[in-house]
Amino acid sequence: MIYLETPKKFRPLVTQANHVAREVFRPISRKYDEAEHEYPKELDLLASLIDGMNEGSGMGAGAAGVSSGEEETSDGNRNGSNLSTVLSIIELCWGDVGLLLSMPGQGLGNSAIASVATGEQLEHYGGKWAAMAITEPEAGSDSASIRTTAELDGDEYVLNGEKIFVTSGDRADLIVVWASLDRSAGRAAIKSFIVERDNPGLKLDRLEHKLGIRASDTANFTLQDCRVPKEALLGSPEVDVKKGFAGVMKTFDNTRPLVAGMALGVTRAALEETKRQLESAGVEIDYDSPAMRQPAAAARYLEMEADYEAALMLTLQAAWMADNRKPNSLEASMAKAKAGRTGVDVTLGCVELCGSIGLGESSLLEKWSRDAKILDIFEGTQQIQLLIIARQLLGKTSAELK
């Protein structure tokens, strides 16, 4: 069974992540929100320190450590790298989610590699920063309709297509590209390929200007006769129509709880600041008294805090299930859907409660409300998560329930 308190072995990691968020991220948060596309050089030393921590502990402080290799404990409960990563991400995004996404070596592409790569691939690509390229102009929420193709030519695959909204795409060392081996075969032919950022066939089109997470770069690419070795394909090269693209989609079962953790970090930051502002204005929040007997602002705050706690429980459950080798696709989508929506609703609610303070630059509340929006969109939008949940609960296929 899952225990709700932070496991003792992860407490030092959580404390370290909180220290990084407080001492490194928060002081430069506004600076890189305003200086969009400027690389946060302060993160280079921090990345080196985290690499050292990873070598000593086997755990990451960012979005990379999602493979589950820990041995089961005597009571059948494994607290592994999925849970530790989610816990540390919550702390780091309490500091700044855009800066977390800018951390060298902590890209969502690393999650894909950790989830399905062979030992040889892990050894070859280990230590490199990997971004994830899925979305296309004609394929957003429906990942199965991507048009980028991969054709085998001797010992190489040739990739052609266009990818947009690639988080950390310009700064990363590697891009994990989703492409189809045979578009006529549908979902089953979709595979992921590791492309070196300096590959001449991978051309940067532009960097996006964004509402939030402005410290992180978001790139658009064209793949034009982009050649990669056969060994760059993640997973099996076989097109299995019966299996579909479950192997590729397995990545999301690990990464969606991570994005939920990002939303939780931003949400908690907004709640804590709002509570401080309310108390300074003389509004007392009484946890021993019914909400209806408290000021309207306090009642609204308690409602938002309850939403945060519900999202937190769902996220911890999804990560714990991954560590314990339990199918968690339903729970991962539930966590992502709840945390993403909660992040948007709560941060905007906090801005509303704090009035002019919430909209000014003396506080980070308005920034957090901007940052939260993307966390309800990428790695599968709110609407897509609800559709996935409905299919699984009703036992429907994607063809039966669209």
> What is the pLDDT, as a whole number, of residue 235?
86
Question: Are residue 205 and residue 153 in the same domain, yes or no?
Answer: yes
Question: Are residue 251 and residue 318 in the same domain, yes or no?
Answer: yes
Instruction: Give a yes or no: residue 188 inside a domain.
Output: yes
pLDDT of residue 56 exceeding 60? no
Kindly report, residue by residue over 8-54, the tens digit of the pLDDT: 999 999 999 999 999 999 999 999 999 999 999 999 888 776 665 55
Instruction: Give a yes or no: residue 1 inside a domain.
Output: no
> What is the pLDDT, as a whole number, of residue 244?
55
pLDDT of residue 398 exceeding 70? yes
Question: Are residue 298 and residue 347 in the same domain, yes or no?
Answer: yes
Strands 233-234, 218-229: pairing is unpaired
Domain count within the chain:
3
**Pick from 234, 265, 287: which residue ends a domain?**
234
DSSP 271-308: HHHHHHHHHHTT----TTS-GGGS-HHHHHHHHHHHHH
d(CA 294, CA 271): 18
> What is the pLDDT, as a whole number, of residue 57?
40
Question: Are residue 197 and residue 137 in the same domain, yes or no?
Answer: yes
Q: How far apart are the first and last CA of the chain?
A: 34
Summarize the confidence of residues 317-344 as an average pLDDT. 95
Question: Are residue 147 and residue 172 in the same domain, yes or no?
Answer: yes
The CATH number assigned to the domain holding 107 equals 1.10.540.10
Mean pLDDT over each residue of the chain, to the nearest integer: 89
The CATH number assigned to the domain holding 150 equals 2.40.110.10
pLDDT of residue 155 exceeding 80? yes
Query: Residue 205: which pLDDT band, with cuts at 50, 70 and 90?
Result: very high
Question: Are residue 39 and residue 66 in the same domain, yes or no?
Answer: yes
**Pick from 168, 200, 234: which residue ends a domain?**
234
Summarize the confidence of residues 254-278 as an average pLDDT. 96
Q: Which of 37, 46, 28 is nearest to 95 (CA)?
A: 28
Question: Are residue 195 and residue 229 in the same domain, yes or no?
Answer: yes
pLDDT of residue 190 exceeding 70? yes
Instruction: Give a yes or no: residue 141 inside a domain.
Output: yes
Query: Residue 74: which pLDDT band, with cuts at 50, 70 and 90?
Result: very low
Question: Are residue 281 and residue 362 in the same domain, yes or no?
Answer: yes
d(CA 389, CA 383): 10
Question: Are residue 229 and residue 257 in the same domain, yes or no?
Answer: no
How many other C-beta atoms are found inside a 10 Å radius of the C-beta of residue 14? Answer: 17
d(CA 325, CA 272): 34
- 3-class SS of residue 270: helix
Instruction: Give a yes or no: residue 3 inside a domain.
Output: no
Residue showing tokens 């994607």? 398
What torsion, rounded to 10 degrees, do the Cα atoms 40, 46, 50, 53 define?
A: 180
Question: Are residue 176 and residue 70 in the same domain, yes or no?
Answer: no
**Pick from 234, 261, 282: which residue ends a domain?**
234
The CATH number assigned to the domain holding 334 equals 1.20.140.10
Instruction: Give a yes or no: residue 239 inside a domain.
Output: no
Query: Which H helix or E strand runs over 345?
Result: helix 329-354
DSSP type of residue 209: -
Domain membership of residue 30 as a residue range:
8-119
Query: Residue 297: which pLDDT band, with cuts at 50, 70 and 90?
Result: very high
d(CA 392, CA 115): 22
pLDDT of residue 142 exceeding 90? no
Instruction: Give a yes or no: residue 369 inside a domain.
Output: yes
pLDDT of residue 245 exceeding 70? no
pLDDT of residue 372 exceeding 90? yes
Instruction: Give a yes or no: residue 184 inside a domain.
Output: yes
DSSP 353-368: HHTHHHHSTTSSHHHH
pLDDT of residue 248 exceeding 70? no
Instruction: Give a yes or no: residue 69 inside a domain.
Output: yes
Question: Are residue 287 and residue 309 in the same domain, yes or no?
Answer: yes
Question: Are residue 293 and residue 386 in the same domain, yes or no?
Answer: yes
Higher pLDDT, 117 or 269: 269
